[in-house]
Chains A and B, each alone.
Chain A
Amino acid sequence: MKLAIATMFVAIASAVMTTAAFASPEKGREIAIEADGRDKGFGDSTAQITMILMDKYGQSTERAIRNRTFEGDKEGDKSLVIFDSPGDVRGTAFLSHTKKADSDDQWLYLPALKRVKRIASSNKAGPFMGSEFSYEDIASQEVEKYTYNYLRDEKLNGLDCFVVEYDPVDPKSGYKRQIVWMDKAEYRVHKIDFYDRKDALLKTLTYEDYNQYLDKFWRSNRLVMINHQTGKKTELMFADWKLQTGMTERDFEKSALKRTR
């Protein structure tokens, strides 16, 4: 009897201590840095994306875009999104330069106006093309944009994962926190739960169909974002991933936007 009670006490105490030891900001940040580090050196990438928007009642609509990314060094990545459909926005190109600390720089080339407009706004949490993704969801994830807290280990789809909380630094973020599931073997993100500013679960993003490129870099072919509050859903289907294609930083300058095809 005494032994049983003692065992129980030890079990509870150790459980409490383990939890305390595990929930760690340092470890969370280390994981984020490691994940960032493992993707270093991809140089540039391109992909074709089909965006499928669905509402709660099954109505859906599609958009086609192309993405080009140039890996940043001192600052964040630069990315270019070219719109192919719907037809009335064909040729529109969106360029963003991710900053580690400040608001990102954003430009849009409007072919109908034949002009490049800079979007001067600290907003980044609005919907991207009416989808459930916001710009902040698809912009490059710089380590400096969050504070971290490692929460626990957990299995997800048979993979051993870290579960890490990401807290956005920017007050303009639409989120209070994000819970990220990342596998321990390859540091690939498999799932993110987004909590809105009132800390209610807003969206869940899942990454599916990972492929490895150049024997090193993992890219997902299917991203599914579900909005739990509105029941709407957006799928991003990626095709034709290419890395280290030889693009130069000049292709990602504002002045290059007009020439972009």
Chain B
Amino acid sequence: MSQKNSSYGEWILKYRFLVLSLITAVTLIAATGAQFLYFDNDYRVFFGKENPQLKAFEQIQQTYTKIDNVNFAVDPISGKANAPEVLAAVEELTDIAWQLPFSIRVDSLSNYQHTEVEGDDLIVRDLYTDAMSMSADEQALVDNVSTTEPALAGKIHDKQHRATSVNATIQMPGKNADEVAIVAAAARKMAAEIEAKHNVKIRLGGVIFLNNAFLESSMLDMATLVPAMYLVILIVAYLLLRSIMATFLVLLVVVPSIIVAMGAGGWMGIGLTPPSASAPTIITTLAVADSIHLLVSMFNRMRAGHSQRDSLLYSIRINGKPIFLTSLTTALGFLSMNFSDSPPFHDLGNVTAIGVMAAWIFSIVLLPILISFVPLKSKATLANLDDKMGKLGVYVASRYKSVLTASVIISVSVLSLIPLNEINDDFVKYFDESVQYRQDTDWISHNLTGVNQVQFSLTAGESNGVSDPVFIEKVSNFTAWAQNEPVVTHVQSISDTYKRLNRDLNAGDPAFYKVPDSRELAAQYLLLYELSLPFGLDLNNQLDISKSSTQVIVTIEDMTTNELRAWIARAESYLADELEFNLTAVGPTVMFAYISERNIQSMLLGTLVAVLLISGVILIALRDVRLGIISLIPNLLPAALAFGLWGLLVGQVNMAVAVVAGMALGVVVDDSVHFLSKYQIARRELKLSAHDAVISAFKGVGTALVVTTLILTAGFAILAQSTFGVNSNMAMLTGIALVIALIADMTLLPALLIALDKDKKEPVRVMAAKEAPQNA
């Protein structure tokens, strides 16, 4: 083994120019794939093609006008939202909103179609025009209609006049990736135009700005986290290596790893989403550990008086296997993300896995060649830590029983905290308060209307059946039920339209605010109403084209996904039990309400596969079943303990929870691989007892473990600063797992080894007796 490795090192150095040009060529080819990268800014990417909630939602999107929208919420700043100057702003905004790219419909107070009856004349007109010169009567009409009309109050306009809005429905052609950015930029320009002319502030919400937030969050993260990551790496690498040149070499390994990974991602056709956009940060973190291991070993050897070339060859020989193993297990951990129900995690997993393997090749091929070109000076690095590690080893080894007992007690109590976690996928809260979308949407939900829309498609069962009074009565019952729910801020329902028409066509008599008596009457009212509507304001947002079904859209205030699921279940059972409608609620909110559950289910298998594969790799590498099984405990425990601590400290977790286990496993396993391979060498080659081999392993890799954990934790701490909550949850949980893993590998693992690996095969070994124990 050692022979092969040393000859590999020499071979690489002998053909360094050839290898260098080859590796440069491959890197460049991979890099050209980067041109195919694009930002995928549709929240729907988080749902796989087979996701049942997505399928149900798309079915509804095919039946009714899509709900993609830009919501211009008008904040009156001072005064009330029904003041003439605010209404004037709404009027102008309504007019220019038709110019928004891909807009197909605009709804606001000013273009609300108010109906009045004079004799046999049905007057249909805009609620108001020319706001600044309205009479007192006209103002009173606006005040009344805006707070009582079901289509407006609690949706378009706040009943307390704290806010009003202009809602533009957008039909994206879906031909270019930059459509969202185009609409968002145009909407911002319009908002700025209105703000400059009127004393109002425009808050921008809606699906377009949700999608745009994914885009801007990815871009912001790439612009801030990646540079921060590099800064940390440069500092850490310099502190550890005390050499500017060596630090620079580390950078030369890290950068091409990212280029290859992202380039390969481009070739695979992935779109950048907040999770996949965090790949460069993660790759940097993982790549830097490889080269630091190699350089630290080399410097240590040089300090012992060996030449740079010999030290390099030595370092390659002793680090080759662990670096390969840790890269492989990390890659496997990330590849487990392919089991996730959310495609962006497939991309993150695949790109990171490629990056990790590229980093392995660059560390083991490029770095030695680069080192061969430059003379490096070895300065005092972290040698003094090795002694302390040795002492720690002695301490742990001598008290392994107490360590075991303490580990069991701590683990069990922390594990019992896991149920404290509540899963919550409030997609608005995925974005932290620094993101404009979050600020604006929070304002909208406090002052205007909820952001959670749940759509219920009620089917009459026959063409034009929506005008059947029995059906309308059922829709009306559901509408009344929903309106009575304390969490509901608005219900959009066709039954309100029928009732309003019935009243208006009966001379405005409030007694007629009820479902029309006959199907013919209802159908003819609706026909009359449709004939009177202006451009864009058709009924396809509520009725399908054959008028056989209608969708009721319920707007709900901010709540956790658990509460939301419970509410949806109640609504569905009310519909089934009381009204005999068997249907499932749909909508983006509903999709997110189930995303964690689905991801956890799919990732259970993914994580299991990762555990089996990674353990398999360790088993093959160590060629020792007992060690392999022992290693499972400190490898699996950290992620579980991290969830326990999280339950105690934070309590709320999003869909990141599903992918963390597999990913953390791949990363934390590195520590135990390093520890076990050193332990095994001590057992097999030096024929030490388990007790002494543990101490030897502490001396050999203790420093490296601390250093690696330090680098990795720093990396994940930076990713934890992501503006996107799924990334920051994922990074924080992994970071906690890393620290726990370090502790476990320095306490629980050695204690387990001494307890379980005792007197292993000792009788078989003839040479064993000759070995004198090191500790007296």
Contact = CB atoms under 8 A, between A and B. Distances in A.
Interface stretch (B94-102, B351-359, B362-370): B94-102
A197 B98 contact: yes
A88 B535 contact: no
Contacts of A197: 98-99, 535
A88 B524 contact: yes
B540 interface: yes
A245 interface: no
Contact of B62 (A55, A61, A83, A89): A55
A59 B546 contact: yes
B514 interface: no
A108 B122 CA distance: 10
Interface string B82-123: 000000000000000011111110000000010000101111
Contact of A121 (B171, B467, B523, B532): B532
Given A56-B62, A118-B122, A123-B532, A130 B545 contact: yes
Contact of B524 (A111, A130, A174): A111
A53 to B, nearest CB: 5
Chain B CB count within 10 A is highest, among A86, A94, A106, A115, for A86
A122 interface: yes
B519 to A, nearest CB: 5
Nearest to B506: A113
B520 A112 contact: yes
A53 B545 contact: yes
A129 B527 contact: yes
A92 B520 CA distance: 10
A60 B534 CA distance: 24
Contacts of A57: 62
Contact of B530 (A110, A129, A198): A129
A129 B63 CA distance: 17
Contacts of A9: none
Interface in A118-174: 118-123, 125-130, 134-135, 172-174
Interface string B531-548: 111111111100111110
A116 interface: yes
A118 B121 contact: yes
A89 B540 contact: no
Given A92-B524, A110-B524, A111-B524, A121 B545 contact: no
A97 interface: no
B470 interface: no
Given A89-B523, A112-B521, A126-B532, A229 B102 contact: yes
A230 interface: yes
A59 B63 CA distance: 9
Contact of A172 (B101, B534, B543, B544): B534
Given A56-B62, A123-B124, A130-B530, A86 B523 contact: yes
B530 A86 contact: no
B528 interface: yes
Nearest to B123: A120
B323 interface: no
A173 B535 CA distance: 8
Interface string B113-154: 100001011111100000000000000000000000000000
A117 B99 contact: no
Given A59-B545, A130-B538, A108 B531 contact: yes
Contact of B534 (A54, A94, A111, A126): A126
B535 A126 contact: yes
Contacts of B99: 197-198
A225 to B, nearest CB: 14
A86 B463 contact: yes
A232 interface: yes
B518 interface: yes
Nearest to A173: B535
Contacts of B505: 113, 117
B118 to A, nearest CB: 8
A173 B536 CA distance: 11
A229 B179 CA distance: 14
B435 to A, nearest CB: 29
Contacts of A118: 120-122
Interface in B480-532: 505, 518-525, 527-528, 530-532
A126 B527 contact: no
Nearest to A232: B545
A159 B66 CA distance: 39
B103 A108 contact: no
A73 to B, nearest CB: 26
B416 interface: no
A120 B522 CA distance: 20
A229 B528 CA distance: 26
A232 B173 CA distance: 13
A120 B504 CA distance: 14
A175 to B, nearest CB: 8
Contacts of A108: 527-528, 531
Contact of B545 (A61, A94, A113, A174): A61
A129 B536 CA distance: 13
Contacts of A128: 530-531
Nearest to B548: A61
B467 to A, nearest CB: 6
A107 to B, nearest CB: 9
Nearest to B99: A198
A122 B125 contact: yes
Contact of B536 (A54, A116, A174, A232): A174
Nearest to B468: A88
Interface string A18-42: 0000000000000000000000000
Contacts of A123: 113, 124, 532-535
Contacts of A172: 534-535
B407 interface: no
A86 B125 contact: no
B464 interface: yes
A207 B616 CA distance: 70
Nearest to B539: A130
Nearest to B117: A117
A120 B102 contact: no
Contacts of B522: 88
Contacts of A94: 531
A196 B521 CA distance: 34
A198 B534 contact: no
Interface string A184-218: 00000000000011101000000000000000000
B527 A83 contact: yes
Contact of B125 (A54, A117, A121): A121
A92 B526 CA distance: 12
B533 A120 contact: no
Interface string A77-114: 00000010011110010100000000000101011110
A174 B103 CA distance: 13
Nearest to A88: B523
A61 B546 contact: yes
A112 B518 contact: yes
A57 B545 CA distance: 11
Given A111-B520, A116-B120, A121-B125, A198 B171 contact: no
Nearest to B173: A229
B120 A117 contact: yes
Contacts of A115: 120
12 contacts: A83-B527, A86-B464, A88-B520, A112-B520, A118-B120, A121-B532, A126-B534, A127-B533, A127-B540, A129-B530, A174-B535, A229-B102
Given A108-B528, A116-B120, 4 more contacts: A92-B524, A126-B533, A172-B534, A197-B99
Interface of A: 53-57, 59-61, 83, 86-89, 92, 94, 106, 108, 110-113, 115-123, 125-130, 134-135, 172-174, 196-198, 200, 229-230, 232
- Going nearest first, the 6 A-B pairs with the smallest beta carbon separation are A174-B535, A125-B535, A126-B533, A88-B523, A61-B546, A112-B520
